[in-house]
Structure 1
Amino acid sequence: MSALEDVDAALTRRVPPGVGVIVTSDHGMVDVPGHKQVVLESEHLVSVSSIGGEPRMLHVYLDPDVDAAEILSRWRRDLDGAADVGGRAETIASGLFGPTVTEAAASRIGDLLVVARGNGAVYDGTAADQRSRGMVGQHGGLTPEERQVPLLRFGAFAR
């Protein structure tokens, strides 16, 4: 976190003549206020073997031999309005991962995909996941702000 603050502070300084600075990242961010944070209850973690992804787009991996349709239905009901929840096949068919998804790629997609709406986020409630709740900026969702790659130009590269 301090490295980001150092870069932010450096960007406020005047760039010497003849020097150009470009700052970019691999994705954009949205601010997630506390009242838009959903923390999953313990009953949501029953039959869940692991959760991956980001709080704005969770990949939920279920235990083998569970009723995935029942779990999908429950998550959809409980997260209605806060997130869109889809199954792996449905999400692939929607084109979210592009027109063609290889078997290798499909095997890494969660059994459930939870995509936060607006500027919300969904946290699994475990101690490890709570660290990221303190970070206002989050990414992983589908908003234009997250899908665009920021590019800042300073000095000789400024327009």
Structure 2
Amino acid sequence: MPDLDVAGHAKGIASSEWVEALEALDAEIAGVIALLGARHGLVLTADHGMVDVPEHAHRIVAPALLDGVRHIAGEPRCLQLHLDPGVAVDAVAERWRASEGKRAWIATREEAIAAGWFGDVDAEVLPRIGEVLVAARADHAYYTDPDDRARGMIGQHGSLTAAETAVPLLRFGAFAAG
């Protein structure tokens, strides 16, 4: 049921639209739970959490921070910077730390992997991860274009905050032995 996710992105998790979608989902789940037999169970989870990012927390990236950046992957709450060949990774990371270190966790690919940001990383996947990562703290998001359509999303995810990484797991009914 995508209604809850859509309402969160469009209106934010503090909106009446999101609360209404949550209540509708809750009612649907209650109906399913009522149908569970004595030997049946239901496990419910989500794929991510979400935070509201107000417009005043949109950070338009200063051009100087993009010196040596070939392209940007990820999403506004966790940029993955892929650098031009020969650009010093540590220099780019330090430039970002000096500018955004209070608003974001800044890590090189190696630092992020060592810190467990991605769990176990297969060698084949390694080059797909940006050389520098910018993971927003609190309610910030990063954009390189002031006209980016994504700035219309209020609810966002992708960073390391507890609100985004804590995923609920709910269990209902009894589970059959066996």
CA distance in 1, matches of 2:134, 2:155: 18
User: Equivalent residue of 2:124, what SS?
Assistant: helix
TM-score (norm 2): 0.69
Larger relative CO (CA 8 A, sep 6+): 1 or 2? 1
Amino acid at match of 2:64: E
In structure 2, the residue matched to 1:117 is: 137
In structure 2, the residue matched to 1:69 is: 90
User: How big is each residue's C-alpha offset from its partner over 1:39-92, in whole Å with a ceiling of 9 and x where there is no partner?
Assistant: 101222222111111111111100111122221111110112111111111111
Q: Aligned residue pairs: how many?
A: 149
CA contact (8 A) 1:41 1:125 kept: no
In structure 2, the residue matched to 1:103 is: 123
The answer to whether the aligner puts 1:140 opposite 2:154 as a matched pair is no
After superposition, the CA RMSD in angstroms is 3.1
CA contact (8 A) 1:27 1:147 kept: yes
CA contact (8 A) 2:81 2:131 kept: yes
Q: 1:13 to 1:77 in 2, by over 3 A?
A: closer
CA distance in 1, matches of 2:26, 2:78: 36
Q: 1:9 to 1:88 in 2, by over 3 A?
A: closer
CA contact (8 A) 2:60 2:142 kept: yes
Structure 2: where are the runs of 5+ without partners? 8-16, 34-41, 174-178
User: Equivalent residue of 1:35, what SS?
Assistant: helix
CA distance in 2, matches of 1:8, 1:151: 19
In structure 1, the residue matched to 2:24 is: 11
User: Equivalent residue of 1:119, what SS?
Assistant: coil
User: Equivalent residue of 1:133, what SS?
Assistant: helix
The answer to whether the aligner puts 1:60 opposite 2:67 as a matched pair is no
TM-score (norm 1): 0.76
In structure 2, the residue matched to 1:35 is: 56
User: Equivalent residue of 1:49, what SS?
Assistant: strand
Percent identity between the aligned chains?
A: 40
User: How big is each residue's C-alpha offset from its partner over 1:94-140, in whole Å with a ceiling of 9 and x where there is no partner?
Assistant: 12222x3221122111100101111211222264xx11111110100
CA distance in 1, matches of 2:98, 2:83: 18
Q: 1:35 to 1:126 in 2, by over 3 A?
A: closer
Q: 1:14 to 1:112 in 2, by over 3 A?
A: closer
